[in-house]
Chains A and B, each alone.
Chain A
Amino acid sequence: MASIDTPSTPKDSTTVPLITRLHGWVISVDHKRIGIMYLLMSFLFLILGGVQGLFIRMQLWGPNGTVVDADTYNQLFTMHGTTMIFFVLMPMLGGFANFVVPLMIGARDVAFPRLNAMGFWLSFFGGCVLYYSHLGAEGLYGAASAPDIGWFAYAPLTSPAFSRGNATDYWILGTTLTGVGAISLAVNMVATIFTMRAPGMRLTKMPLYVLLFLVDAILILLVFPPFAAAQFMLLLDRFLGAHFFDPQVGGSALLWQHLFWFFGHPEVYILALPAFAVISEVIPVFSRKVIFGYLSMAAATIAIGFISCGVWAHHMFTVGLSDTLDTFFAGATMLVAIPTGIKIFNWVATMYGGRLRLQTPMLYALGFLTLFLFGGLTGIMLASPPFDWQASDSAFLVGHFHYTLVGGILFAFLAGFYYWYPKMFGRMMSERLGIIQFAFTYIGFNALFIPMHIVGMLGMPRRIYTYTDPSWTIWNQISTIGAFMMAIGLLLFLYNFFSSLRHGKIAGDDPWDAWTLEWNTTSPPPCYNFKEIPTVRSRRPLWDLKHPDDPDWKHE
């Protein structure tokens, strides 16, 4: 019998067999582990979606490209879009929500840990279901092997007549499953943020990060169900012969567009608010200043949440709605620019007069600011119906939303990775590699998407598998070169992420000299997060602790 002082179960990671450690991850309900698993899931699908994007770019290298055929091309852009939205950016959101929010509010876990684990595994399972379509979707007809309906799957492309086999069904089930996962994440976030904050942390004393995730979760709760309902209608159409989206029998193809975009547009803000959240943490810490205009930031966030639910039909200007509707949705869309502009001004004002530290998180945050601003400005152009009638479904539009989704959101998440990596794993990511990666990603990104605006203006539609106009060639070639540069950048990021697990500098508890509670525990945090739940008196509890002579709560 082992004596008491000899450790009977060695906890050192080198001695525990790999399978035991992996099993520990699979059965884990710890919010930090689930968060990290969400992030790893997003990496897996980032590689898949990225390769699809590269194939699209190779096909468009020159006129009459022959890399893939037209059917495969349809599948490529469908899978690329679906993957990037539902299985790359959504899991990143889930990862940052899960890992950071409980730590930041001084909680020991989320409200419902098992529901949390279920949400993650549902999301992951949804991704597997979608990709299973490559193997099992042919059905009886030898039809398409992956969905080829575009990521917004307009009727009647999805009707049994035009979408034979089961590819579309896998698309429906995969996205619905991940939607249920997102809802369970949101339920968790709302309950956690409302009821599990550290003593003293009133709703108005929360870090902006937490507030933005709260608004984000509420948006998820409101807009994912209409999407799920639309998916059920589509399933009934496909399997029971119902007529929701079949105009020949009294159904309405337009209804799908309304339901989809009622989800689809707020979804963009669901992805963008976490990006804003990351930026609202990174910029103050790396400018050594408190965030400028906390209250206006909070108000702008809530305004974005509200307005984003009333703008969806700007995706449908070319459908031919009435002028009244066009006017309303154009006005509402331009209105979003106001709170978003407030945010951008506040971030810039936070940097103004600050002592900027241009480390990797800040680099990506600055990248975010420039690229998101660019995407926002082209967004205002597209919000005007006369312009939209010209540019809708052109490469210009593709360039626009990649600036918001990739240049905006992905860059912000990259800032978040560099910022919280030390907290997740106790080691720093390599700064040198990070800067090289930034150069590749930033330059590659702009080379990839600026030409799309130009070639879109020249008349190139989106989703065409090839073209004949030689004057488009040069712009497409610049795009393709940019795509490969960006791919190198993201591969460098993944290399940096995984090699720093072993070779990174030991980080310590608070490598950035930051101010929120997650930096007040060890890196990585113990499974119970905090030995003693801290008491909070201001929005920067760690500042108070570090500067007892001049605490924040005297000024707030």
Chain B
Amino acid sequence: MSTAALASDANHAPTEPSRFTTRETGLLAFLCTEGSLFTTLIITYIIFLGEKMPGEIPGEMPTPSNSLDLGLVIINSICLLSSSLTIYFALSARKRGAHGLYLVWFGLTILLGLEFVVGTGYEWYDLMTKYHLFPSTNTFGSTFYLLIGFHCLHVLIGVVTMSIIWAFDALRWLTPKCEAPEIVSWYWHFVDGVWVVIFTLVYIVGR
């Protein structure tokens, strides 16, 4: 009795072709987890939206409407969302074999992501110095820094990961078949998609 006997069996049923590669499936599973994480954070933000401290005088405490500034955030959002487009151009260039063009678009994506992180830093600096909004100020502060912070952390992780891949690819250490750029782009699109939800909730609906 050996495995050979099993394998040599004639007219065996074919396996269904897998739609995704192993790595893609792994990433999709990971994104499910991330989706669950962000859903929790977003629900928490909604629960505490408009929550006041007992005995709070209106206008005394920072709220979304009196402290969130749209200007910088819109610039950040444009950068982040257009980076989804640039990474798409980068990958289609890579598929065509246009290595130089790919590196340019991919590098641009990294810079746009970096702008978002730095921009968020400036936004937070303003909130802390001008409006004295800290996680300990009120539940708006707690939930705001938690939600935006978690998202920004994801952007930062994406920037670091993409930088490593960019450097490896610039040195031509990765084979053209390597799935890493494709997979990091899926992650990047996910982070961008989450931002659309967060931006709508925090800066439009909740403001």
Contacts and interface: CB of A to CB of B under 8 A. Distances in A.
Contact of B12 (A190, A199, A236, A252): A199
Contact of B14 (A200, A222, A249): A200
Nearest to A202: B16
A530 B33 CA distance: 32
B146 A232 contact: yes
A546 B26 contact: no
B52 interface: yes
A534 B3 CA distance: 5
Nearest to A115: B26
A194 B25 contact: yes
B32 A221 contact: yes
Interface residues of B, number: 48
Interface residue SS majority, chain A: helix
Contacts of A541: 6
A545 interface: yes
Interface stretch (A170-178, A237-245, A375-383, A384-392): A237-245
A537 B15 CA distance: 10
B3 A532 contact: yes
A115 B22 CA distance: 13
Interface stretch (A55-63, A223-231, A419-427, A438-446): A223-231
Nearest to B139: A250
A111 B26 contact: yes
B66 interface: no
B5 interface: yes
A311 to B, nearest CB: 17
B92 interface: no
Contact of B3 (A250, A255, A530): A530
A250 B53 contact: yes
B34 interface: yes
A406 B44 CA distance: 34
B205 interface: no
Given A111-B26, A241-B136, A520 B33 contact: no
Given A183-B33, A520-B6, A199 B136 contact: no
Interface stretch (B35-43, B96-104, B105-113, B193-201): B35-43
Interface string B115-128: 00000000000000
Most buried by B among A111, A188, A223, A237: A111
B29 A191 contact: yes
Interface of A: 111-112, 115, 183, 186-188, 190-192, 194-203, 205, 217-218, 221-226, 228-230, 232-233, 236-237, 240-244, 248-252, 255, 259, 520-521, 530-537, 541, 544-546, 553
Shortest Cβ-Cβ A-B pairs, 10 listed: A241-B136, A225-B37, A242-B142, A191-B26, A534-B6, A190-B29, A225-B36, A226-B40, A242-B135, A229-B40
11 contacts: A112-B26, A195-B22, A200-B12, A221-B29, A226-B39, A241-B135, A242-B135, A242-B141, A243-B136, A252-B47, A535-B6
